[in-house]
Structure 1
Amino acid sequence: MSTTVAARRSPRPGLLLLVLVAGWLGLGVATAGPASAHAELVSTDPGESARLDEVPAQVTLRFTEGVSLGAGYARVLGDDGARVDTGAATVEGDTVTVPLRGDLPDASYVVTYRVVSADSHPISGAFAFVVGDGELADAGAVATDPDADPFVAAALPAARSLGFAGEAVGLGVPAFLLLCWPAGWASRRMRLLTTAGLLTVAGAAVLTFLLQGPYAAGAGLGSLLDPTLVGATGSSSFGLTTLGRGALALVLAALLVPLWRRAAPPQSQEAAGLAVLGGGVVLTTAAVGHPVAGSLPVFATAVTAVHVAAMVLWLGGLAALLAGLVRPGVEAGELAAALPRWSRVASGAVAALVVTGVVQSVREVGSPAALVSTTYGWVLLAKLALVLLLLAAAGVSRVWVQQHLGVTRARPGGRRRVTAHAFAAAAAGPSGAEEGPVVEAARARAAVQARGAVEDVAPLRRSVLVEAAVAAVVLVLSAVLVGTPPARATIAEPVDVTLPLESAAGESGSVQLSIDPARAGANTLHLYLFDDDGQLAQPADLRVTLTEPEQEIGPLDVDLEPAGPGHWVADGMSIPGAGTWTAAVTVRLDEFTATTASTDFPVR
């Protein structure tokens, strides 16, 4: 609830959200770097479907970001499914190396892998290569990669949701008491709510830790306590950070015990200690998943930490309002003392959520096209829609507060709303101006209101309940986003480029290339050829080839079909695998003159 009861106008977070989203849609991908926050295989040696003269000493796989084997594997199998590697696969940064035995015959071999990316998600796949003149094996038939167990896949986001909810309550409630409602430290409800929230954080952290092993290995719930999987998770940064979050939550719960017994706000040093521990819980929440992978991990982690802290302040305040302040028979003076402070805190939290949310979206989505064509994008849109609904409910709460805790006094040029609490403060201070009967009557009504109870608190409670219910769904969607590959990592970006044709005598015309969707597998290529005057041209001969230098694939000739004057099409053009490919065009204008052009493009 972003309730405004002060005399001056507050910022409108909903308008800010719309402005920022519109700006992001306008900028698109221009402000975002090329790196993605989810590992992808970009090259292998030997390459996919490669035909070699002799068995290599090792197989290497290179990804877009650092990976680990963890609970996964990297193996090389013969065409009968038996392992032919030495069993000593190693990882160095973004490269996995699998040594092979030295006594292998000419045959077809299948490489199968399941590694864990820096954002804790498993990446798996398989490909084949052949040594000698034999037939290439079917990688899918030889290597069967286990899918994620459906119960594990559902339990992991559920555990994250519990952890987020626990943080909102366990950290947000004491923050609300410290910043807005000091008298609440004597409330038994606040003590129980905070303790339950912090214990939930610790329990969710342990559950997430245990589920990560089966999730990475593609195993079921029966392997939850498998020592190998637990050890693999425990040796990873994800596992250590997750357990650290649970430990910090337990320490914070223990330090709060004497404060609850004292039923009084903490002293400055105590408050600083609680803030440091709470900040540690927030930071360990931000330091896993998508923020730590891809480009600018330190910046992304800092932005996510601010996002989590703002979420904690806003949703924790809602929980404290429902459990403590917004109840039948509440004293108007008590509300008038807490709600103005809460208004400022909530408005700042909402603004921080909006700004950091847009920054995260630009990094993880990258372009408006990815927003509406990927699972991550659609889930993010649903989350944004719910945030707008939250802001609408906050507006209803603000109106209630103005009607029940505010009075009207005359001012030159109009009227404005001020709070009963503000009138009480004004009455206590000196005043050098004469006060008319309208102001005196207003102060009298304010005094009566402050002494009495607010009878009709039900509408405020309903609006706060709506906020809390919608916020619970937002937390679930946030947990789903954490486990979903970012849109930038899953969307393929078609190639559409115009290149100058170069020869020994200089530039001579241009060629326009379009490759869609620039994915591994079947693609469609359109080629338009223009002369020096920009007119469609018809050459004596035309050739297009594809090459992947790092994987030593190609040049592969592309079969072109005429589609009109100066226009050729290759429908179903095959790109064997992911990587950075080069499309080269050679145009022979006559018997003596040839021009060339080339462009590099990523294939996902």
Structure 2
Amino acid sequence: MTALPARPVRPVLLLLVLLTGWLGLGVATAGPAAAHAELVSTDPGEGARLDEVPGSVTLRFTEGVSLGAGYARVLGEEGERVDTGTATVDGDTVTVPLRDDLPDASYVVTYRIVSADSHPISGAFAFVVGDGELADAGAVAEGVDVDPFVGAALPASRALGFAGLAAGLGIPAFLVLCWPAGWASRRMRRLTTAGLGTVAAAAVLTFLLQGPYAAGSGPGSLFDPALVSATAASSFGLTTLGRGALALLLAALLVPLWRRGAGPTAQETAGLAVLGGGVVLTTAAVGHPVAGPVPFFATAVTAVHVVAMVLWLGGMTALLTGLLRPGAGAGDAAGEVAGTLPRWSRVASGSVAALVLTGVVQSVREVGSPSALVSTTYGWVLLGKLALVLLLLAAAGVSRVWVQQHLGIHRPRPGGRRRVTAHAFSATGGSPADEPTVAAARVRAAAQARGAVEDVGPLRRSVLVEAAVAAAVLVLSAVLVGTPPARAAVASPVDVTLPLQSAAGESGSVQLSIDPVRSGPNTLHVYLFDDGGQLAQPAGLRVTLTEPEQEIGPLDVELEPAGPGHWVADGMTIPGAGTWTVAVSVRLDEFTATTASTDVPVR
């Protein structure tokens, strides 16, 4: 038998070509940050000094947010609540009303809100009313972080859900597309039912964990009515519970098929497709895809990615536990193997192509630039997943070559003719023309194919390697879902208010906004406030950039007036990555000058 070329390397080459193109163009084409909300501005500003207590405090973020199980509070100098307790959210803006008749003092705003991708964002800042000293926001605010148990349990529940999807959806799809006789297998029934049950259980567990995750509490608050109600009122909670309900409905719809041991009718297939599509969409429509620009497109790409994953991993599960189980290469089972593997090979090839293409699209959206791959947690986890996917594709290539060599199947030529090896027609080595009829040739081909798969041990071992690597890929996928996207981590805009220092002490404040904070062109906004928190017009203003470690600067920034107390440097160039010091010098009059500076990490 003539060995066939290793065609499966083509998906690997396609992946490498696409990634190479992205690495070459990613920096130039990277758009605004996608997913994971960031604080843009506040009113009053951080460090502002006011003449009177404002009626409310507002916080504006880069995307829509919700309070959910979080909070937005204003604390007095003793840590007591001074807000009314009725914070509201309008799109990307959070408003916290304050109580009446508050004294002149320093106040700390502390918040923990939930972004559109279901992840919590927390922070604190201070402002002062009157002539008092500005409070240390970090010392007054509550130090709330994600509980370690909750932080580990969430990705674990997601990984269980992904594994359940592969079995609960992938196995029925494999039976419909490749192995109709498998509907009579009790093992397929048990695995599918267990998979759909796992999807439902993981959905409920994820729903319960979301409350403590958003609130920064421990597992003891898993069933806290307030947290459960907050999650149930969110789109994340409703979508997650919907996924569990659809999985149970799908399991119920499959019961008649298992009982009669036969494949579905056209009407039943449509029902299975609708429910299965609902499970896929509710899986894709949470987390990073629904946040940031063009959520519909991102959700659609993620849905295709999930379908491809389900078809591939579910098919491998069915192969290992059904067709390729020990003893499958003998008797009538060999005929099933010979008839099923070519169909599965085509389905797997299509799934791999879809995974590669959608994976690259998702990476570009969530990472944005090659530098983010090696400078963020998300990027490093994604690189680890990519390495495993390449190993997975190599193992899949070995499996596909085995199918081609043992079943004599070649890819169609450009002219549309399919070529098979000679042994698939005749045991005697003669040509097809020597056979009395085409029907006889087909009978001999079937017999020869059955003989070719008497030993499926090598194929089984190859698929076992695929399954083991795929399990690791599922774990890393679950971790990525809960990790802030690299694009947001690298290109987070800077918005900070600094007190201006002079020889006589503090004298007003300056607010600096820099976007997108990366090497190359940036936009700088400068707002100058007097002691009363009002926009001020100084006698002179200078902004410089310095990178001490690289001994660059100070570089003067050209400013253009944009209104009272407001200047803009549109196209301010930051020469390269590093920790840059932005310094502001304000000349109030002929004898008085104030300064302020802040360090900005640039990647």
Give the TM-score band, short-chain normalised. Answer: 0.7 to 0.9
| Shift of residue 83, structure 1, vs aligned partner | 0.8
Q: Which residue of 2 aligns with 1:199?
A: 197
Q: Which residue of 2 aligns with 1:461?
A: 460
Q: Following the alignment from structure 2 to structure 1, what is the Cα–Cα distance between the partners of residues 423 and 232? A: 53
Q: 1:92 to 1:80 in 2, by over 3 A?
A: same
Letter in 2 for 1:465: L
Letter in 1 for 2:281: L
| Shift of residue 174, structure 1, vs aligned partner | 0.3
| Shift of residue 365, structure 1, vs aligned partner | 0.5
Gaps of 5+ in 2: 495-513, 557-565, 573-583, 586-599
Q: Which residue of 2 aligns with 1:598?
A: none
Quick check: 2:71–2:112 contact (8 Å CA) kept in 1?
yes
Q: Which residue of 2 aligns with 1:157?
A: 155
More moved, 147-156 vs 336-345: 336-345
Q: 1:193 to 1:422 in 2, by over 3 A?
A: farther
Please state whether the residue corresponding to 1:418 is helix, strand or coil: coil
Q: Following the alignment from structure 2 to structure 1, what is the Cα–Cα distance between the partners of residues 182 and 59? A: 58
Alignment match of 1:252 (pick from 239, 250, 253): 250
Please state whether the residue corresponding to 2:420 is helix, strand or coil: strand
| Shift of residue 457, structure 1, vs aligned partner | 1.7
Quick check: 1:72–1:113 contact (8 Å CA) kept in 2?
yes
1:356 is aligned to 2:386: no
Q: Which residue of 1 aligns with 2:236?
A: 238
Please state whether the residue corresponding to 1:133 is helix, strand or coil: coil
More moved, 316-325 vs 484-493: 484-493
1:335 is aligned to 2:333: no
Q: Which residue of 2 aligns with 1:529?
A: none
Q: Which residue of 2 aligns with 1:569?
A: 554
User: 1:436-447 alignment to 2 at 5 Å?
Assistant: 446-447=445-446
Q: 1:87 to 1:407 in 2, by over 3 A?
A: closer
Quick check: 1:397–1:463 contact (8 Å CA) kept in 2?
yes
Letter in 2 for 1:119: D
Quick check: 1:47–1:552 contact (8 Å CA) kept in 2?
no
Q: Which residue of 1 aligns with 2:371?
A: 369
User: 1:252-271 alignment to 2 at 5 Å?
Assistant: 252-271=250-269
User: 1:177-192 alignment to 2 at 5 Å?
Assistant: 177-192=175-190
Q: Following the alignment from structure 2 to structure 1, what is the Cα–Cα distance between the partners of residues 110 and 87? A: 12
User: 1:58-457 alignment to 2 at 5 Å?
Assistant: 58-330=56-328, 331-406=333-408, 418=420, 423=425, 434-435=433-434, 446-452=445-451, 454-457=453-456
Q: Following the alignment from structure 1 to structure 2, what is the Cα–Cα distance between the partners of residues 525 and 198? A: 50
Quick check: 2:37–2:121 contact (8 Å CA) kept in 1?
yes
Quick check: 2:63–2:91 contact (8 Å CA) kept in 1?
yes
Gaps of 5+ in 1: 425-431, 496-514, 527-544, 572-579, 588-601
| Shift of residue 371, structure 1, vs aligned partner | 1.3
Letter in 1 for 2:396: A
Q: 1:43 to 1:205 in 2, by over 3 A?
A: same
1:547 is aligned to 2:526: yes
Q: Following the alignment from structure 2 to structure 1, what is the Cα–Cα distance between the partners of residues 345 and 99? A: 68
Q: 1:228 to 1:401 in 2, by over 3 A?
A: same
Please state whether the residue corresponding to 1:136 is helix, strand or coil: coil
Quick check: 1:176–1:313 contact (8 Å CA) kept in 2?
yes
Q: 1:190 to 1:339 in 2, by over 3 A?
A: same
Quick check: 1:33–1:295 contact (8 Å CA) kept in 2?
no
| Shift of residue 581, structure 1, vs aligned partner | 8.8
Please state whether the residue corresponding to 1:402 is helix, strand or coil: helix
1:209-257 deviations in Å (ceiling 9; x for gaps): 0000000000000000000000000000000000000000000001101
Q: Following the alignment from structure 2 to structure 1, what is the Cα–Cα distance between the partners of residues 339 and 547? A: 78
Q: Following the alignment from structure 1 to structure 2, what is the Cα–Cα distance between the partners of residues 378 and 259? A: 44
Please state whether the residue corresponding to 1:189 is helix, strand or coil: helix
Letter in 1 for 2:353: A
Q: Following the alignment from structure 2 to structure 1, what is the Cα–Cα distance between the partners of residues 244 and 534? A: 48
1:495-546 deviations in Å (ceiling 9; x for gaps): 9xxxxxxxxxxxxxxxxxxx99949xxxx999xxxxxxxxxxxxxxxxxx96
Please state whether the residue corresponding to 1:59 is helix, strand or coil: strand
Q: Following the alignment from structure 1 to structure 2, what is the Cα–Cα distance between the partners of residues 116 and 73? A: 9
Letter in 2 for 1:434: A
| Shift of residue 33, structure 1, vs aligned partner | 2.9
Q: Which residue of 1 aligns with 2:480?
A: 481
Q: Following the alignment from structure 1 to structure 2, what is the Cα–Cα distance between the partners of residues 55 and 388? A: 60
Q: 1:440 to 1:117 in 2, by over 3 A?
A: closer
Quick check: 2:409–2:421 contact (8 Å CA) kept in 1?
yes
Please state whether the residue corresponding to 2:80 is helix, strand or coil: coil
Letter in 2 for 1:480: V
Aligned residues: 523
Q: 1:562 to 1:109 in 2, by over 3 A?
A: closer
User: 1:507-526 alignment to 2 at 5 Å?
Assistant: 518=517
Q: Following the alignment from structure 2 to structure 1, what is the Cα–Cα distance between the partners of residues 155 and 434? A: 60
Question: Once the two structures are aligned, what percentage of the paired residues are identical?
Answer: 78
| Shift of residue 404, structure 1, vs aligned partner | 2.7
TM-score by length of 2: 0.79
1:97-133 deviations in Å (ceiling 9; x for gaps): 0011121111110000000000000000000011111
| Shift of residue 172, structure 1, vs aligned partner | 0.2
Q: Following the alignment from structure 1 to structure 2, what is the Cα–Cα distance between the partners of residues 274 and 48? A: 55
Please state whether the residue corresponding to 2:271 is helix, strand or coil: helix
| Shift of residue 473, structure 1, vs aligned partner | 0.6
Q: 1:69 to 1:322 in 2, by over 3 A?
A: same
Letter in 1 for 2:255: V
Please state whether the residue corresponding to 1:388 is helix, strand or coil: helix
Letter in 2 for 1:339: L
TM-score by length of 1: 0.79
1:52-82 deviations in Å (ceiling 9; x for gaps): 1111111000000000001000000011101
Letter in 2 for 1:28: G
Quick check: 1:311–1:349 contact (8 Å CA) kept in 2?
yes
| Shift of residue 456, structure 1, vs aligned partner | 2.5
Q: 1:402 to 1:213 in 2, by over 3 A?
A: same
Please state whether the residue corresponding to 2:131 is helix, strand or coil: coil
Quick check: 1:325–1:335 contact (8 Å CA) kept in 2?
yes
Quick check: 1:370–1:487 contact (8 Å CA) kept in 2?
yes
1:149-178 deviations in Å (ceiling 9; x for gaps): 000000000000000000011000000000
Letter in 2 for 1:262: R
1:386-442 deviations in Å (ceiling 9; x for gaps): 11101110111122223333389xx9xxxx973799749xxxxxxx983389x9999
Q: Following the alignment from structure 1 to structure 2, what is the Cα–Cα distance between the partners of residues 40 and 126? A: 13
Quick check: 2:75–2:107 contact (8 Å CA) kept in 1?
yes
Letter in 1 for 2:484: P
Q: Which residue of 2 aligns with 1:471?
A: 470
Please state whether the residue corresponding to 1:306 is helix, strand or coil: helix
Letter in 1 for 2:395: A
Q: Following the alignment from structure 1 to structure 2, what is the Cα–Cα distance between the partners of residues 398 and 317? A: 13
1:551-596 deviations in Å (ceiling 9; x for gaps): 9888875478999xxx84179xxxxxxxx99448999xxxxxxxxx
